[in-house]
């Protein structure tokens, strides 16, 4: 009756969210007096998962699963759950996790709660806290089914080391033709850029930048910090920046450690989308901008003066602090 966790990898290495998911699964397993079994698909060496508390890793190696395919991956996971007799399945909030979670849940007749922010407050009945109303509130929800699926909110639990000796086992699920009736034709992904989903720091800018030609300093700031770039809804609507950068209620959610908002007034829809970020910094020339009420640190000033100064200061800081 172990806790089963899906560990996402890319090009043969585990993503940080995989480490966080295993850490979280270990927390649940401890509360239930059981162990963690991780499932890794085409991930290569998976021994590192023991560091975060996995006792066993089911390694799936299959060329057909080279591209993510929700139906097939959900099938793999469901078979692993049945094999292990797992009662709890831990997924994350990645695009792929959210894609397959409902398929896994229906397959296992399991209740599913996404965006979970803490360990269960009780495992009998199984009760979890999760964010709702786009981070404007939380709900304490009970899952009534025998098997439970939870999706951990990004950066909500953190990575916790819990060294355990992990045994690995090859796992060969039986895949049906049906699993591949949707097919990935091509993937378009900038590999040299930090993504908003993976970023620990996000630098975001809004209409205060006055035009797309002024984004050089935003990109430079992001590069200095190793951050992802993002933007407000009006900026993406006007085509100044690509849609993929739009963060907020109808755009991408952000749950980074540090979120720097430049020239963004802070409409309620924007704030909802970035609220799960831990530390928020606002740079805006309007002291009345609503964003200041939601921020931890702020500078009232002209972005065109402050941002270049900040870049310079950070470069010096990085040089001094390695």
User: Which x/- pattern, by CB under 8 A, does the window 98-117 give for another protein?
Assistant: xxxxxx-xxx--xxxxxx--
**Quick check: 319 binds another protein (CB under 8 A)?**
no
Q: How far is the CB of 54 from another protein (least distance, A)?
A: 23
- Residue selected from 132, 176, 286, 302 as contacting another protein according to rule CB under 8 A: 132
Comparing CB distances to another protein, the nearer of 28 and 299 is 299
- Ranges within 68-87 binding another protein (CB under 8 A): 68, 70-71
User: Shortest approach of another protein to residue 166 CB, angstroms?
Assistant: 26
- Residues with Cβ within 8 Å of 201's Cβ and at least 6 positions away in sequence, in order, are 222, 225, 226, 227, 228, 256, 257, 258, 259, 260
Q: How many Å apart are CA 43 and CA 117, to the nearest integer?
A: 26
Closest approach of Cβ 195 to another protein, in Å?
3
Q: Which stretch binds another protein (CB under 8 A): 21-29, 38-46, 161-169, 191-199?
A: 191-199
Distance between CA atoms of residues 5 and 40, nearest Å:
9
225 Cβ partners below 8 Å, 6+ apart?
201, 203, 258, 314
User: Rounded CA gap, 283 and 301, in Å?
Assistant: 7
Spacing of C-alpha 2 from chain mean position: 24
Residues in 11-40 that interact with another protein by CB under 8 A: none
The residue among 61 and 122 lying less far from another protein, judged by its C-beta, is: 122
Q: Taking Cα atoms as reference points, which of 125, 121, 123 lies closest to residue 138?
A: 121
Which of residues 61, 83, 95, 212 is near another protein by CB under 8 A? Answer: 95
Binding status of residue 55 toward another protein by CB under 8 A = no
Q: Which is nearer to another protein, 96 or 168 (CB)?
A: 96
Distance of CA 307 to the CA centre of its chain: 27
Q: How far apart are CA 265 and CA 282, in angstroms?
A: 9
Binding to another protein by residue 176, rule CB under 8 A? no
The CA-CA-CA angle for residues 80, 86, 89, to 5°, reads 80
Q: Does 119 bind another protein (CB under 8 A)?
A: no
Residue 211 to residue 221: CA distance in whole angstroms: 17
Q: Which of 34, 51, 96, 162 binds another protein (CB under 8 A)?
A: 96
Does residue 203 interact with another protein by CB under 8 A?
A: no
Contacting another protein within 217-246 (CB under 8 A): 225, 233, 237, 243-244, 246
| Stretch near another protein under the rule CB under 8 A, chosen from 35-43, 54-62, 165-173, 288-296 | 288-296
Q: Is there binding between residue 152 and another protein (CB under 8 A)?
A: no
Tokens for 185? 């034709």
Is there binding between residue 302 and another protein (CB under 8 A)? no
Q: Does 42 bind another protein (CB under 8 A)?
A: no
User: Is the bond into 99 cis (omega within 30 degrees of 0)?
Assistant: no
Q: Rounded CA gap, 79 and 87, in Å?
A: 13
């Amino acid at each position: 009756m172990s806790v089963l966790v899906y560990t996402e990898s890319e090009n043969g290495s585990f993503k940080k969210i995989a480490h966080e998911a295993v850490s979280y699964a270990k927390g649940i397993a401890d509360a239930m007096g059981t162990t963690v079994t991780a499932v890794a698909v085409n991930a290569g060496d998976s021994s590192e998962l023991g560091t975060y508390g996995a006792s066993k890793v089911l390694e799936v190696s299959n060329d057909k699963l080279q591209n993510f395919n929700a139906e097939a991956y959900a099938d793999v996971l469901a078979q692993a759950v049945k094999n292990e007799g797992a009662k709890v399945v831990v997924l994350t909030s990645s695009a792929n996790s959210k894609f397959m979670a409902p398929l896994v849940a229906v397959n296992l007749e399991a209740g599913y709660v996404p965006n979970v922010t803490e360990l269960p407050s009780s495992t009998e009945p199984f009760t979890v806290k999760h964010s709702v109303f786009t981070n404007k509130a939380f709900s304490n929800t009970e899952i009534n089914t025998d098997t439970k699926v939870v999706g951990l909110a990004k950066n909500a639990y953190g990575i916790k080391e819990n060294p355990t000796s992990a045994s690995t086992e090859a796992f060969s699920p039986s895949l049906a033709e049906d699993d591949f009736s949707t097919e990935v034709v091509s993937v378009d992904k900038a590999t040299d850029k930090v993504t908003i989903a993976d970023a620990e720091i996000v630098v975001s800018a809004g209409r205060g930048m006055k035009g797309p030609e002024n984004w050089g300093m935003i990109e430079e700031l992001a590069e200095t910090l190793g951050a992802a770039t993002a933007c407000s809804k009006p900026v993406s609507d006007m085509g100044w920046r690509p849609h993929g950068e739009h963060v907020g209620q109808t755009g991408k959610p952000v749950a980074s450690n540090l979120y720097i908002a430049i020239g963004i007034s802070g409409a309620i829809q924007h704030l909802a989308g970035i609220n799960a970020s831990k530390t928020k910094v606002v740079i805006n020339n309007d002291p009345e901008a609503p964003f200041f009420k939601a921020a931890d640190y702020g500078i009232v000033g002209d972005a065109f003066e402050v941002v270049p100064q900040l870049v310079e200061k950070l470069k010096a800081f990085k040089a001094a602090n390695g």
